[in-house]
Structure 1
């Protein structure tokens, strides 16, 4: 029941969603709009690659993993240089391998990679492109959308569904349902919710808790970048633990 059997397009939240959808889906789309998936989209659009690290930036293992992979470790959001902040990646040189720590999107990416399926990073920016690629990759198997959400707690805690990821999932569900209308109620209603505010995305994201948090630390441009609907044709694909085009 919790795997939404019988539907081609499925949607479930967070780590638990990956565990439920992973065994049956042919493709999973990880959605972490503010900011992992948006950052990955921009990096891949620039010709870069992203090594997702399921760690917080302050974790000393992040530097070790980046060095082992020959990657450049992203800085913390409030520091200069390339970081999880999407706006910091707008001039990323092509060919750069960026190690990107993220407790949400990167963690889900790592979990999804453990299943026999194809993994994409999806966002509002690349909803159509990712949907088209996921349908092709899944073949006759279902496509799962996994909005990351947040966690109640500094390190861990129960899932807190987030508005931005619900809208990102809805944008992708809208595109997927245009290819195959046999979607679960969860996927269909996410699409309905997205379409209801599609004309006011910058304002809606800015007013959401995560958007207000980023604006409060001077990252209002990140929120605006995340709200750009279908501006990107990139479909970041996870191969060998690295997202690329």
Structure 2
């Protein structure tokens, strides 16, 4: 079977999951949007809204972390700031923050290697990201990549998390508002899920497996921050390996 089937060729707006989905979409998409609602892309949104910048690091990449420190970055966990979005509410403006994560950060780093323009989106900033994506993409293909989770946290098969389905759907719905006929069925379905459940997002994130996991670990505040649909005008874009707010970069 042709690989073009899995790259969703023929559609301008495409959606596929995780690292394998990224590999399928990346060669033909001018813009890629990474979605990891709980918690990487939500943490990115808050850090950038505070005036910081984020250096995405593959989890366990010791060399990248060492290089980040040499470049003057604050590495997550070195101080009180971590992958938890609630820990970043007082991040000082101007901070270069190195943020490892097994899903969102890894996907951002891999997406950048293909030459596409890479954005990081969450429920908070989906509309703002979609507006900037449209400006850059023009009529060229756009790929949305919900990160999902792993059975086994950092290894094992993909677990599609509904938090990322909703986040990807929020981006898709905003893009479909201007190009409803150019979207793949995968994109259209995600957009429909978000639009149908937008009034229930808070309850869905609290009750889903990922949300319950965070709450049980004492991080309920992160779930609430992630569920704040449309609360941010930030549009995180990856340039020279660093995520910065496109509106001010």
TM-score class, shorter: over 0.9
Question: 3-state DSSP class of the match of 2:154?
Answer: coil
Q: Tell me, in whole angstroms, the C-alpha distance in 1 between the residues paired with 2:147 and 2:81.
A: 22
1:40 paired with 2:44, answer yes
For residue 179 of structure 1, give the secondary structure of its aligned residue in structure 2: coil
TM-score (norm 2): 0.93
Distance 2:153 2:213 in 1: 15
Give the SS at the match of 1:23: helix
Question: Partner of 1:88: helix, strand, or coil?
Answer: helix
Match of 2:72 in 1: 70
Residue pair 2:57, 2:65 contacting (<8 A) in 1 also: no
Stretches of structure 2 that go unaligned for 5 or more consecutive residues are none
C-alpha distance in structure 1 between counterparts of 2:17 and 2:235, whole Å: 21
SS at match of 2:177: helix
Residues 147-170 of structure 1, C-alpha deviations (whole Å, 9 max, x = no match): 000112243121111110011001
| SS of corresponding position for 2:28 | coil
Partner of 1:219: 219
- Root mean square deviation of aligned Cα: 1.4
* Matches of 2:26 and 2:65, distance apart in 1: 29
Distance 2:174 2:195 in 1: 11
Q: CA 1:137/1:224 → structure 2, altered by over 3 Å: closer, same or farther?
A: same
- 1:241 maps to 241
Match of 1:169 in 2: 168
SS in 1 for 2:32: strand
Paired residues, number: 240
Partner Cα separation in structure 1 for residue 154 and residue 25 of structure 2: 25
Q: Which runs of 5+ in 1 are unaligned?
A: none
